Structure 1
């Protein structure tokens, strides 16, 4: 298998962490979706990363599909296969992906020429992020993990989202959410997160 993606994409990082956690054989090919000679549009008609090329030549995209496929290849499952726990985990993934989407939208807005930027859009994205962080802290148990008293996809995706917020929208969310900050510090110490941290992302 080959995983195509960029080093800084948090959606790609989700997949790379899962590959590392499950010790799967998968080559990582660094590819810029925006480059003129990028292989990505030929793999994914949406022109987005990540894209996973299977051994039979088929291609899977995007990150939720790839994560679920790779998780199915080897036990123990990070995404429960059925029941309430599965839907709760998928809800965590939806929340984390939404946090990433908001952070990316905010970043792109601020990269526009100053006279074209929308302060309202920036505020809207920041509000989404703030509400999501509050939601997460309110649902933290007193255990080390979000689900099942073990590391699952819920922990993986939320840690990626919070670290990406630190990377692209650094602000003192920890000042109001000490329990969540402590939880993140524990998850962020896992080798899979340390080894996939993008260049320039400093540990907070």
Structure 2
């Protein structure tokens, strides 16, 4: 039985896993899942009710994109994306954590603005401002950390670049008014370079 990836085509966390699987040349089946649908069965696979969720060959499941991509990187020596040990590994995982944390904040903003369970008067501008502050601070830090380097790890792309690229793609998708390209040309350059790769071009978020 092939691995199955349960996920959504709009989720940046799912996209990160799909890009890693493409870069690692791993065979799998993609199973679309809308966790917001009334008939969703995602809780039977992941008690947190979130995607991505990876169903392995034996039927066991693992979830959380950071856990999944680390498992996938160890499956095959092709295109190693995470350094094995030491400070280099910690740095790459920290950039991934920052990219994911920026997404967490941006998604909270989107939910605050669009969740149908709340009226307009129940939405909190102060909460939105707080979360957007995290997004903007993260963009600044990501751009500063990349600087003039081709990639976060130096001359070769890796997991940090994939995580940041997926985060930037989702911001462009859901927050087109946020001018991160104009403010941070280093990030725009990285994103443009990543979009030339089939793994990114073929996994762009769509509704």
Q: 1:103-136: per-residue Cα shift (whole Å, max 9, x none)?
A: 1000001114211110011111111111111111
- Between the aligned partners of 1:4 and 1:182, the Cα distance in structure 2 is 31
Residue 53, structure 1, aligned to residue 55, structure 2: yes
Aligned match of 1:124 = 130
Residue aligning to 2:145: 139
- Contact in 1 for aligned 2:103/2:167 (Cα 8 Å): yes
Q: How many equivalent residue pairs?
A: 200
Q: How well do the aligned residues superpose, as a CA RMSD in angstroms?
A: 1.3
Matched with 1:95 is 98
How much has 1:149 moved relative to structure 2?
A: 1.3
Take 1:96 and 1:104, find their aligned partners in 2: how far apart are those partners?
A: 12
Paired residue for 1:106, among 89, 109, 122? 109
Q: Provide structure 1 residue ranges, at least 5 long, that are not aligned to the other structure.
A: none
3-state DSSP of counterpart to 2:152: coil
> What is aligned with 2:190?
183
Question: What TM-score do the two structures reach when normalised by structure 2?
Answer: 0.92
- Please state if 1:161 is matched with 2:163: no
Aligned equivalents of 2:190 and 2:60: distance in 1?
Answer: 38
1:10 aligns with 2:17: no
> For 1:113 and 1:192, how far apart are their aligned partners in 2?
39
Report matched runs for 1:1-40 at 5 Å: 1-40=3-42
Aligned residues of 2:33 and 2:40 also touching (Cα < 8 A):
yes
CA spacing shift, 1:141–1:176, aligned 2, 3 Å: closer
Q: CA deviation at 1:37?
A: 2.7
Which whole-Å deviations, capped at 9, do the CAs of 1:167-192 have from their partners, x for residues lacking one? 11222122221222122211222111
